Amino acid sequence: MSSPELTNTIRTLIKQESLPDSYADTVKKTILPLAQHLHSLKQARNEPIVIGIHGAQGTGKSTLTLFLRELLTNHYRIPTASFSLDDLYLTRAEREQRANEIHPLFITRGVPGTHDLALGQHVVDQLKAAHRDTETAIPAFDKSRDDRYPKAQWPVFKGRADIILVEGWCVGAVPAGSEEELMEPVNELERSEDPEGLWRRNVNSCLKGQYGRFFSQLDSLIMLRAPSMECVLTWRTLQEQKLRDRSRAAPKESASDQKAGNELRIMSNEEIARFIMHYERITRASLQEMPARADCVINVGEDHSFGEPLIRQRQ
């Protein structure tokens, strides 16, 4: 892609995502150097690579992933696929079952134990082994309805992906170090709704087991480091407001949809605060320990601005 083509691609993406024109500076300072780094990683390997992108809610993971995918595919000519851990959430019915069988807090999507990692691994394996005409369906989750889209509505990636970007708030997270640490509540949700620690011990067990195995295949881990947990709550509230605004502008649900229970689920500010408490323990732990081991750290300002990528070369 020539320089004018690259500029045009960046402008198109900025417009598509309703970003300010100044985001072009972020692309130049942060995203293009990161894309160049991933290109170099791929050049050193004769097989597809899997890149994890970690960041607390609202840090800009989805936007970063989109720009990286498009730049790697169109500028560096590296077929690149992406998906979010969010799109691997168990269906609402599956989470209801876990809530009934293990702990009521598992009805809420987000924490380890609420994703279908077997589905995620299947997608990764298929993208790696695909041939030119292979079509891989990428799972999609509808957060406004708190349920997975039907498979017929999933986007499709054609061919083999040489780079696979996997983004999510707990990507690369590690389990708690001790039982004592788990048993000390970090917020009112844990204190009042999980007083015996059953839910958080189960979450930690998932993180230690199947999540740890899934994350172990990452060839590189990128961290978007939020300035504080308080910023995460503010940013998540803004995300829900945008979802609320979009739902108001969308066509009204049909009577049949409402009868089937498909009405939009938009959270109030109080519900958001409670929702974030589900994420707080792992988010705080990751903010503290992950910067020392991530392959790349991007500091995110309170205004959502990105710093330059701080890249650590693996030995």
Task: Tell me whether residue 142 is in a domain.
Answer: yes
pTM of the prediction? 0.91
- CATH number of the domain to which 293 belongs: 3.40.50.300
Task: Tell me whether residue 298 is in a domain.
Answer: yes
pLDDT (tens digit per residue) in 204-223:
999 999 999 999 999 999 99
Q: Given a cut of 60, is residue 47 above it in pLDDT?
A: yes
* pLDDT reported for residue 258: 44
Task: Tell me whether residue 176 is in a domain.
Answer: no
Indicate the number of domains in the chain.
1
pLDDT (tens digit per residue) in 285-307:
999 999 999 999 999 999 889 99
Task: Tell me whether residue 260 is in a domain.
Answer: yes
Question: C-alpha dihedral over 291, 297, 299, 304, to 10 degrees?
Answer: -120
Tell me what the mean pLDDT of segment 96-110 comes to: 97
* pLDDT reported for residue 37: 96
305 CB-contact burial (10 Å; exposed 0-12 / middle 13-18 / buried 19+): middle
How many angstroms from the chain centroid is the CA of residue 164? 13
Tell me what the mean pLDDT of segment 240-258 comes to: 61
Host domain of residue 239 = 3-168+187-311
**pLDDT tier for residue 260 given thresholds of 50, 70 and 90:** very low
Q: Which range is least confidently modeled, 54-63, 91-100, 134-143, 230-239?
A: 230-239
Task: Tell me whether residue 302 is in a domain.
Answer: yes
SS3 (DSSP) at 225: strand
Task: Tell me whether residue 173 is in a domain.
Answer: no
Q: Give the CA diameter of the chain.
A: 60
**Is the sign of the CA dihedral 292, 181, 219, 308 positive or negative?**
negative
Dihedrals φ, ψ of 172, to 5°?
Answer: 80, 0
pLDDT (tens digit per residue) in 12-42:
999 999 999 999 999 999 999 999 999 999 9
Task: Tell me whether residue 36 is in a domain.
Answer: yes
Take residue 37 and report the two structure tokens written for it: 């780094």
Q: Quickly count: other Cβ atoms within 10 Å of residue 160's Cβ.
A: 17
Tell me what the mean pLDDT of segment 308-312 comes to: 94
* pLDDT reported for residue 245: 75
Task: Tell me whether residue 178 is in a domain.
Answer: no
Take residue 288 and report the two structure tokens written for it: 């503290």
- DSSP letter for each residue of 34-77: HHHHHHHHHHT-SS-EEEEEEE-TTSSHHHHHHHHHHHHHHTS-
Rounded CA separation 119/125 (Å):
10
